[in-house]
Amino acid sequence: MNKQEFDLNEKARQKINEQYEYADERVSGSEGRIRPKKAAAPAKRPAEVNETAPPVSHDKPAVNRTDGIKRAEKRPAVSEPPHREPPHREPEPEAHIPPPKEKEPKPKPKPKPQPVKKVRKPNLKREQARRKFWRIYRRFAVVIILLGTIYFFLNVGFLYYRGQLWFNEPRKRDYPVRGAIVTSSLGEMDWAEFQYQMITFAYVRATRGTKFIDEQYSVNRPGVDDSRLWAGFYHEFDFSEDGTEQAEHYINTVGDLYGELRPAVKLTLYGAYKLRMRSAEKVREQLNQYLDRIKQEYGRRAVIMCDSDCYEKYIKPYFSDQTLWLIDHFNEPDENTDWALWEYNPRVRSLGYSNSKEYYSVVVYRHGKDITNFRKNFEIGYE
């Protein structure tokens, strides 16, 4: 082996050793320390040149790497150098932690400026159409409301006219004694049917003034006497006639009233008297004459039947001690008034008479009074 070959082999061997040392460092690094490099083997002196050897080629010889690796494996183990302590390092001083600063109040956020709305130019045609629509809508709503109101009142008036709707209908349990007023306008009476129309008594018109006699009186008198109803007969007072003459006319027409109800006299405004009422003194004089003659004949006072106008002007100041029959179609008479009968509804229709389209009036006796009390106060000859 010449010197050049020796140098080349030595370089290859050193390179292989460096590779092994690098692998050992990586392994020892996982254990936390680095293994020291092994000392290089002393170089051998080259042998003497053999002159008989073949001539050396100047080309670069091929390096057999496996040969170097085998040689490295056969290399004797190198003893590790003694463990060296790492250099002493002074501990770093603790970092100074400043005390926490007080939190400053956050400033209130400034209000965001509102975006400026763009002013649109008015659309004249659209505005006019909108106004026209609402004008028509309001008119239509007003018309509908007016028509509905008119329809409502027409129905109320129709029901009131037919007697199906009334505003002051007294309860049956409060006013158990009820009666009807019968005139010739009802036509021929069927008393067998009429007596079962939830009534207890009936007052039949007999006379008016000094000459008039009800057309159906002669038929109604025996008919009502044969029925189960308590019957009475009344006279319509004429403001222009003498009171005594009217009483004589009534007595001559009716005759004996034993077992019947007390006679009644009706004072209501009619004709021209609705516009101009007679003086109170004149009416008082004539009515006193009538009442005195009736009491003289039958021994009982007549019942005074009157509306609110006649009561306020003629009856209340002079005849408040008489038995009163008040006519009020909308309100119950005052409790402080000593009334006995109350006519509350003039538009009642039922079975029992021929003119079925006609109406008659309904009367109730004093609140809470029964038929026994009624007979005691109204029946002539009651014992």
Sequential DSSP letters for 287-326? HHHHHHHHHHHHSSPPEEEEEHHHIIIIITTT-TTS-EEE
In the block, tokens 């770093």 appear at: 92
- Indicate if 259 and 324 belong to the same structural domain: yes
Tokens of 15: 């390179």
Q: Give the C-alpha separation, 212 to 206, whole Å.
A: 9
Q: What is the mean pLDDT of residues 318-327?
A: 86
For the chain, how many structural domains are there in total?
Answer: 3
- Indicate if 363 and 218 belong to the same structural domain: yes
Domain-located, residue 87: no
Write out the H or E segment, with its range, that includes residue 181: strand 178-182
Domain-located, residue 86: no
Q: What is the mean pLDDT of residues 6-34?
A: 59
SS3 139: helix
Q: What is the mean pLDDT of residues 314-324?
A: 83
Which of 165, 187, 215 terminates a domain? The answer is: 165
- Indicate if 144 and 175 belong to the same structural domain: no
Q: Give the C-alpha separation, 154 to 358, whole Å.
A: 20
- Indicate if 257 and 194 belong to the same structural domain: yes
SS3 360: strand
**Cross-strand bridge partners of residue 326:** 306, 342
Q: What is the mean pLDDT of residues 14-36?
A: 55
pLDDT band at residue 34 using 50, 70 and 90 as cut-offs: very low
Q: Give the C-alpha separation, 3 to 8, whole Å.
A: 9
Which residue range forms the structural domain that includes residue 44?
A: 3-48+65-73
- Indicate if 359 and 292 belong to the same structural domain: yes
| Residues 202-232 pLDDT 10s | 999 999 999 999 999 999 999 999 999 999 9
pTM: 0.60
- Indicate if 262 and 232 belong to the same structural domain: yes
Write out the H or E segment, with its range, that includes residue 341: strand 339-348
Mean pLDDT, the chain, rounded, equals 79
Q: Give the C-alpha separation, 123 to 128, whole Å.
A: 9
CA pseudo-torsion sign 382, 370, 222, 343? positive
Q: Give the C-alpha separation, 279 to 281, whole Å.
A: 6
364, 371 contact by CB (below 8 A): no
- Indicate if 156 and 279 belong to the same structural domain: no
With a cut of 90, say whether residue 247 has pLDDT above it. yes
With a cut of 70, say whether residue 1 has pLDDT above it. no
Domain-located, residue 258: yes
The amino acid occupying position 194 is F
The amino acid occupying position 201 is F
pLDDT band at residue 164 using 50, 70 and 90 as cut-offs: low
Domain-located, residue 367: yes
Which of 141, 165, 189 terminates a domain? The answer is: 165
Domain-located, residue 233: yes
Mean pLDDT check: name the lowest of 36-40, 126-130, 246-250, 301-305: 36-40
191, 352 contact by CB (below 8 A): yes
Domain-located, residue 231: yes
- Indicate if 202 and 325 belong to the same structural domain: yes
**CA 357 centroid distance within chain:** 43
Q: Give the C-alpha separation, 293 to 262, whole Å.
A: 14
With a cut of 60, say whether residue 180 has pLDDT above it. yes
Q: Which residues contact 320 (CB under 8 A, 6 or more apart)?
A: 338
Domain-located, residue 115: no
Q: Give the C-alpha separation, 363 to 34, whole Å.
A: 134
How many Cα neighbours within 13 Å face the side chain of 43?
12
Q: Give the C-alpha separation, 168 to 208, whole Å.
A: 30
Q: What is the mean pLDDT of residues 5-24?
A: 64
Closest CA to 265 of 203, 217, 328: 203
Q: What is the mean pLDDT of residues 305-315?
A: 88
Query: What local confidence, expressed as pLDDT, does residue 278 receive?
Result: 72
Q: Give the C-alpha separation, 268 to 274, whole Å.
A: 9
DSSP symbol at 251: H
Q: Give the C-alpha separation, 112 to 118, whole Å.
A: 18
- Indicate if 205 and 259 belong to the same structural domain: yes
With a cut of 90, say whether residue 341 has pLDDT above it. yes
**Dihedral, CA of residue 280, residue 288, residue 217 and residue 203, to nearest 10:** 80
- Indicate if 155 and 266 belong to the same structural domain: no
Which of 165, 180, 205 terminates a domain? The answer is: 165
Query: What local confidence, expressed as pLDDT, does residue 76 receive?
Result: 56
- Indicate if 210 and 274 belong to the same structural domain: yes
Write out the H or E segment, with its range, that includes residue 376: helix 371-378
Counts of helices then strands in the chain (DSSP H, E) = 9, 9
Q: What is the mean pLDDT of residues 364-383?
A: 88
- Indicate if 225 and 182 belong to the same structural domain: yes
Query: What local confidence, expressed as pLDDT, does residue 121 receive?
Result: 72
Tokens of 194: 């009429």
Between 3-30 and 65-73, two packed helices, what is the crossing angle to 10 degrees?
60
DSSP symbol at 33: S
Domain-located, residue 41: yes
Q: Bigger pLDDT: 258 or 84?
A: 258
Q: Bigger pLDDT: 28 or 137?
A: 137
Closest CA to 237 of 297, 170, 291, 172: 291
